[in-house]
Structures are given as structure tokens and as C-alpha cells.
Amino acid sequence: MEKRNIPIALPFMGQEEWEATREPIFSGWITQGPKVAEFEKLFAQRHKVKHALAVSNCTTALHLAMVALGIKEGDEVLVPAFTWVSTANAVMYCNATPVFVDVDTRTFNIDVNSILKKINPRTKAIIPVHLFGLCANIDEVKRIAPHLKIVEDGACASGAGIGDRPAGSLGDIGCFSFHPRKSVTTGEGGMLTTNDDTLAERINMLRNHGASISEEQRHKGPKPYILPEFDMVGYNYRMTDIQGAIGVVQLKKLDTFIDERQKWADYYTEKLSAVPWLKTPYIPETYKHGWQSYVSYVDETKSPIKRNDLMEHLQQKGISTRPGTHAVHMLGFYAKKFNIKPSDYPGAYACNEYSMSIPLHNKMVKEDYEYIVDALLSIK
Ligand SMILES: *Cc1c(COP(=O)(O)O)cnc(C)c1O
């Protein structure tokens, strides 16, 4: 087969997104305004929640979720040990302590059986991550720890769900990302979801310096010269209307993107079942995967090649791969600060060493998928 060049991810954007930016640019209203509001409304509808609030990225969304829930110094927040570093960083921003919980190597998500032993009177909240687009078992989290606030890190999980309950509607607050590595993108961008009116109001103020009313309300209201009240220390975590306009177009394509990814994920899983040392993604019954990434697990006890050598081999063939994500407890800052050994979280350690993401995105064509499957099947 002729050599191909297949990146791990590519945003799917074009003429429509380009044209959508015309209105905010020419209207003169480019910070958070009508386009962000439209994006939020669509996002809330799709994820079956009362409120959706756009912010600058998912990391700031997670930070605001912590602040809105009143997380502060002395509090502990449970975080899976295998996730993107910002899940834990968001807890650090509040001077609270992230307490790691091991993950299940089959789902890459929080191991619900490890939660109970991490809970003490200081534990206030838990941030289950819907990693790679597969929802964490939130029902079980609620059963085990009914008193904890739940913030879903759904950075990878736009459009995912359990049965007909979408990600973002399962806990107290949901947080999403529109970074280009995710299924829909606004360049950078994030969203918070909640069904709680009080939390929504607090988040709305926190993202805008703590102002009691938004700039748009003030400028378009009868007394634009009267500045709002500031009763809290807020942040500027707003999304621009240029991004909001792009988000509206992208969100309308979300389900088509996921359907196409689902089709090719099924193709991978069927073809790669012939590779006995590669564990393809496990999806519990009734779960709807969002397919931000297709992440397998290389069983080095059976494989003729180590995971890192396999990634190098595929790179030589023009196929980009990545470890699924990293074990946060093994990263320099966290390992030192909390004196953690890699072996303290064996599940997260294993995922760090043996997970492998292969390309799955909406710019890929049939020949790309065939080429990748062929490359993996030919490893003896
Ligand atoms: C991408 C990602 C984030 C961070 O999202 P940003 O929008 O880049 O801040 C947080 N958590 C998880 C699990 C992610 O995959």
C-alpha cells in the first residue's frame, strides 16, 4: 500500500463556519453577546439541561464549577488519576486538595469501587471524567457517595450519554471543551451545564468579573451608563461572539460527526478483533459513546511489540498515535507535592503505559481506516 499521512485529529470546519463569523465581525459586537446566547440555547437543548453557560475553555469551566460549589482551602475533591491534568489543576486553583481515585483499565474511567476508601469528612465533591467520550458510571457514583457534589468533566463528551440521558445532565454541573482535539470546536472554548438556577446565576456572574448584569444587558438596556454591582471576586472567562457563531454551526453537525465516528469505530473494533493483544474500547450496554478518540489497550504480556515501539512503528508509516492521556499522579508536580508513587494507582499507571489512541476524525476517508487496520494486522 502507498504511504499515507494521517494526523491524530483534525477540526472539521469550512465555508459555513467562515460565513458565520461575518455577522459578529461586521455588527461590531464581538465579545459575549447574541451568538454566544444562541450557542448556549442549542447546547442546553441538545444536552437536555435548563442552563448552558459558555466560557473560554473547559479548564476555566472546571474552575468556575469549583468556585460556584464553594470549594475552598481545606476541602478535598476526588479526581480520577488518569485524565487531562486540568481536571486536577482546577481543584488546585481553589487551594483545595485533589485526591486521586484509581481508574478501571477497561473503560479508562473512574473505578467506582475505589471511591469509598477515599472519602472522609473533608471530601466535598467528585469530578468523574467521561474520558474519550465514554460516560463515567455516574449512577453508581451517586449511590456510593450521595452527599458529594458531582461535576462531570465532559470535555470529550459533547453528545455522549447513558441511555437517553446526555452527558452534562447527570451531575450537578457539567463541563465541556471545544478545543480542536474535541469532536466540535470553536478554536478554544468551553461550556458549563446545570439544572440548578442558583448555580447558573452564580456561574453567569463569575465568568464576567462578578458583575451583576452582563455587558449586553447593560449596553442594550435603558441606562447603559450605570455600571453593575460587583458583590464577588469574579473572573474574565467569557467566550467571544465570533466563537459563539462558529459554535452554533459546529453544534448543528455534532450528531452527524458522532454517527460517522461511530460507524468507523465499529469498523475498527470488528477488524481489530483479529489482533489478540489489542483490547479495543469497551462500551457498557446502553452507553452512547461520543468518540472524541478511539483508544485501545496494548497487552504487552501477549504483544510481539511494546506500546512505545508500536507507536514509533506506526509513526514511520505516517499514522499518528498518542497515549490515551496521562496519569496525573505520575506528573512531576503532583508526584512531588503529594508524595505519590506510580504504583499507588495501578490502573492509572497501566493506562499511562499501555493505552494507545489511533486516528478517528471526520476528515478521514475509507482508505485511511483501511490503511491503519492493515498496518496493525500486519504486525506479527
Ligand atoms: C481537553 C480536556 C480538558 C481541557 O479542556 P480545555 O478546553 O483545553 O481547557 C479537560 N479535561 C479533559 C478530560 C480533557 O480531555
Nearest protein Cα to ligand 1, atom 6: 58
Which atom in ligand 1 lies closest to the alpha carbon of residue 86? 10
- Give the per-residue pLDDT at 215: 84
Q: What share of the chain is helix, strand, coil (3-state, %, to 5)?
A: 40, 15, 45
- Between strands 51-55 and 294-298, the pairing is unpaired
Ligand 1 nearest atom to the CA of residue 62, by list position: 10
pLDDT for res 297: 98
H helix runs in the chain, sequence order: 15-20, 22-27, 34-46, 58-68, 86-93, 138-144, 197-206, 215-220, 241-272, 307-316, 332-337, 346-354, 366-377
For residue 172, report the distance from its CA to the centre of ligand 1, in Å.
18
- 128 Cα to the center of ligand 1, angstroms: 13
CB-facing half-sphere around the CA of 298: CA atoms within 13 A: 23
Separation of CA 310 and ligand 1 centre (Å): 26
CA 209–ligand 1 middle distance (angstroms) = 23
Residues with CB under 6 A from ligand 1: 57-59, 83-84, 86-87, 129, 153, 155-156, 177, 179, 190
Q: What is the pLDDT of residue 216?
A: 86
* Residue 248 near residue 39 (C-beta atoms within 8 A): yes
* Pocket residue to mutate for ligand 1, from 177, 325, 355, most atoms within 8 A of Cβ: 177
pLDDT at 214: 85
Residue 380 pLDDT = 86
Ligand 1, atom 1, lies closest to the CA of 155
> In angstroms, what is the span from residue 198 Cα to ligand 1's centroid?
25
- Domains of the chain, with CATH numbers? 15-253 (3.40.640.10), 255-377 (3.90.1150.10)
Alpha helices, DSSP H only, in 81-126? Answer: 86-93
Residue of 156, 175, 243 to test ligand 1 pocket, by largest number of atoms within 8 Å of CB: 156
Return d(Cα 292, Cα 224) in angstroms, integer.
Answer: 43
pLDDT recorded at residue 226: 87
Residue nearest to atom 2 of ligand 1 (CA): 155
Enter the pTM of the model: 0.97
Interval between CA 235 and ligand 1 midpoint (Å) = 19
Q: What separation in Å is there between the alpha carbon of 86 and the centre of ligand 1?
A: 7
Please report the pLDDT score of residue 148 as a whole number: 98
CA of 251 to the centre of ligand 1 (A): 18
Displacement of CA 35 from its chain's centroid (Å): 22
Degrees to nearest 5, angle at CA 239 with 237 and 242: 155
Which residue type is seen at 111? D
Nearest to 127 by CA among 174, 179, 85, 59: 174
pLDDT reported for residue 296: 98
Q: What is the pLDDT of residue 212?
A: 87
**What ligand 1 atom has the least distance to the C-alpha of 132?**
15
Local structure of residue 77 (DSSP, 8 states): E
| d(CA 23, ligand 1 centre) in Å | 29
Strand order in the sheet with 294-298: 278-279, 294-298, 355-358
pLDDT means per 10 residues in the chain (380 residues)? Answer: 94 97 95 97 98 98 98 98 98 98 98 98 98 98 98 98 98 98 98 98 96 87 88 96 98 98 98 98 97 98 97 98 98 98 98 98 98 96
